[in-house]
């Protein structure tokens, strides 16, 4: 009888031990879940709170330039060229900076004033002048192009109607060029810099033949865009160090 009582007590003690062990496991699991939920809550709360503060870090969207291979049938032979998909020239608040090029300061200021008047990038206009004539004011090409921005003879009558009669005068010549560029940007869009430059160089009809074949930039347009970025970077550097 005594043996049976002890054995019974042992069985009861064993059940109690199992129950305590099971309860301990539940407690551990519950603590783990609470800690996990607490960590998630804290992260969300901290990030949301921090993001609303003036000192919160910000992400800057960076425009990535992609390139694709195209064939230029106008080259006389089949060759591969690269065409920028993102064709944009950043427009900034106009601030005059004298560029280190072979053009008098007075003429550069005139270019800046006219470009600003037509809402065209000053550095882009300077890039066109540099590429077309290397800043030779009285340049005259064998194909009948005149002055800084090489206004062709075929446009002389129209430019005269717009009031630009002396294509070897800086103000008249640059005004004529910017007037043409403004019309092209209006036609093709502010972001279509390569199209605008191609049309400026070879006329809209000649350029459209290449566009129909998938050619969206030319050596001319790419060289001017590259020069524009060089001038723009120089201006930024000067303004940053003032």
**b (16+ CB within 10 A) / e for 65-78:** eeeeebebeeeeee
Look at residue 50 and tell me whether its pLDDT is greater than 50.
no
Q: What is the pLDDT of residue 197?
A: 98
At 33, the pLDDT band (50, 70, 90 cuts) reads: confident
What are the tens digits of pLDDT across the range 191-234? 999 999 999 999 999 999 999 999 999 999 999 999 999 999 99
Q: How confident is the model at residue 94 (pLDDT cuts 50, 70, 90)?
A: confident
pLDDT at residue 210, rounded to an integer? 97
Q: pTM for the full model? A: 0.65
CATH classification code of 67-240:
1.10.530.10
Query: Residue range 105-126: average pLDDT?
Result: 98
Delimit the domains of the chain by residue range: 1-59, 67-240
* pLDDT digits 0-9 by tens, 117-145: 999 999 999 999 999 999 999 999 999 99
SS (H, E, C) 155-221: HHHHHHHCCCCCCCCHHHHHHHHHHHHHHHHHHHCCCCHHHHHHHHHHHHHHHHHHHHCCCCCCHHH
Task: Please provide the average confidence, as pLDDT, over all residues in the chain.
Answer: 78
For residues 127-151, one letter each, b for 16 or more C-beta atoms within 10 angstroms of the residue's C-beta and e for the rest, the string is: bbbbbbbebeeebeeeeebbbbbbb
Instruction: Report residue 30's pLDDT band, with 50, 70 and 90 as the boundaries.
Output: confident
DSSP state of 67: E
Q: Which of 87, 110, 73 is nearest to 196 (CA)?
A: 87
What is the average per-residue pLDDT within 62-82? 45
């Amino acid at each position: 009888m005594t043996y049976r009582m002890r054995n019974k007590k042992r069985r009861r003690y064993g059940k109690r031990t199992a129950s305590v062990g099971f309860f301990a496991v539940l407690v551990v699991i519950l603590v783990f879940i609470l800690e996990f939920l607490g960590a998630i809550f804290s992260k969300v709360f901290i990030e949301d709170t921090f993001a609303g503060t003036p000192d919160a870090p910000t992400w800057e969207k960076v425009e990535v330039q992609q390139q694709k291979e195209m064939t230029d049938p106008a080259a006389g032979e089949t060759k591969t060229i690269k065409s920028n998909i993102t064709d944009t020239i950043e427009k900034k608040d106009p601030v005059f900076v004298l560029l280190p090029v072979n053009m008098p300061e007075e003429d550069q200021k005139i270019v800046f004033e006219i470009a600003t008047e037509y809402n065209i990038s000053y550095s882009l206009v300077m890039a066109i002048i540099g590429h077309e004539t290397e800043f030779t004011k009285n340049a005259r090409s064998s194909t009948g192009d005149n002055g800084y921005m090489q206004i062709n003879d075929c446009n002389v009558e129209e430019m005269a109607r717009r009031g630009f009669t002396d294509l070897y005068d800086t103000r008249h010549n640059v005004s004529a060029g910017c007037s043409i560029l403004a019309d092209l940007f209006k036609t093709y869009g502010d972001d279509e810099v390569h199209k605008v430059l191609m049309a400026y160089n070879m006329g809209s009809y000649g350029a459209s033949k290449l566009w129909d074949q998938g050619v969206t930039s030319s050596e001319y347009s790419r060289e001017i865009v590259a020069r524009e970025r060089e001038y723009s970077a120089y201006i930024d550097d000067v303004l940053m160090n003032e």
